[in-house]
Amino acid sequence: MTEPTRAVAQGTFDLLHPGHIHYLEAAATYADELHVIVARRANVTHKQPPILSDRQRRETVGALDVVDEAHRGHPEDIFVPIEQIDPDVIVLGHDQHHDATAINETLADRGVDCEIERAGTREPSHDAELLSSRAIIDRIIEQRG
Ligand SMILES: Cc1cc2nc3c(=O)[nH]c(=O)nc-3n(C[C@H](O)[C@H](O)[C@H](O)COP(=O)(O)O)c2cc1C
Ligand SMILES: Nc1ncnc2c1ncn2[C@@H]1O[C@H](COP(=O)(O)OP(=O)(O)OP(=O)(O)O)[C@@H](O)[C@H]1O
């Protein structure tokens, strides 16, 4: 019997919304199993840190039907979980700043044979739909602050 293929998605996943679901469902189409790496709070330096703890974000993402396993990210070396999961494909989010060429070079250096793909964008389906954790926080501050 052949081994199931594995896709990896990754991100912060603070305050889940339909944009996250869209990304995870898109990533799941690339393989038999979807593994998600949830970024450590200390590594979220390109924007405001998440409201929810590392553990809560991992447990919530892991409870979604589309996700086979959610992993807490490594604190120092983001390629350690990748080496452990040994995916067939890493699916980047539509707006993620990561450079696919640089990731490919590191994967080759570390002996991981893996493709890089990029998921598409989910547009709002109605006026009030919020597809960003930051936008949800702004709405809370505006309405309850
Ligand atoms: C291939 C890959 C592996 C990653 N692994 C980790 C990890 O082990 N630990 C971690 O804290 N973040 C990890 N990240 C997440 C990044 O550190 C970054 O915080 C994340 O991409 C933020 O995405 P967002 O702005 O879409 O939430 C990884 C990112 C990539 C592209
Ligand atoms: N509207 C969307 N369409 C497609 N993918 C999305 C959408 N929103 C988020 N994602 C994807 O979900 C993953 C995790 O996203 P992240 O945790 O950064 O959420 P976010 O809501 O975009 O955050 P923030 O609002 O704080 O920037 C990323 O790969 C991101 O590209």
Distance 145 CA to ligand 2 centre (A): 24
Query: Is 86 domain-assigned?
Result: yes
Q: List the domain range (segments joined by +) for residue 109.
A: 6-144
**Is the CB of residue 72 below 6 angstroms from any atom belonging to ligand 1?**
no
18 in a known ligand binding site: yes
Q: Which ligand is nearest to the CA of 45?
A: 1
Taking the C-alpha atoms of residue 107 and residue 26, their distance in angstroms, rounded to an integer, is 22
Domain count, the chain: 1
**Is the CB of residue 104 below 6 angstroms from any atom belonging to ligand 1?**
no
Taking the C-alpha atoms of residue 5 and residue 9, their distance in angstroms, rounded to an integer, is 14
Query: Is 45 domain-assigned?
Result: yes
Asked if 117 contacts 104 with a C-beta cutoff of 8 angstroms, the reply is: no
CATH code of the domain in which 139 resides:
3.40.50.620
The two three-digit tokens of residue 46, written as one number = 């390109």
Query: Is 57 domain-assigned?
Result: yes
Closest residue by Cα to residue 62 from 51, 70, 72, 50:
70
pLDDT of amino acid 19: 97
Q: Alpha helix (H) ranges present in the chain?
A: 18-28, 54-62, 79-85, 100-109, 133-144
Question: Which amino acid residue places its CA nearest to atom 30 of ligand 2?
Answer: 93
Query: Is 1 domain-assigned?
Result: no
Q: For residue 141, report the phi and psi dihedrals to the nearest 5 degrees.
A: -60, -40
16-41: average pLDDT? 98
SS3 content of the chain, % helix, strand, coil (to 5): 35, 15, 50
Instruction: Please give the mean pLDDT across all residues of the chain.
Output: 96
Query: Is 21 domain-assigned?
Result: yes
Query: Is 91 domain-assigned?
Result: yes
pLDDT in tens, 107-142: 999 999 999 999 999 988 898 899 999 999 999 999
Whether residue 53 is predicted with pLDDT greater than 80 in this model: the reply is yes
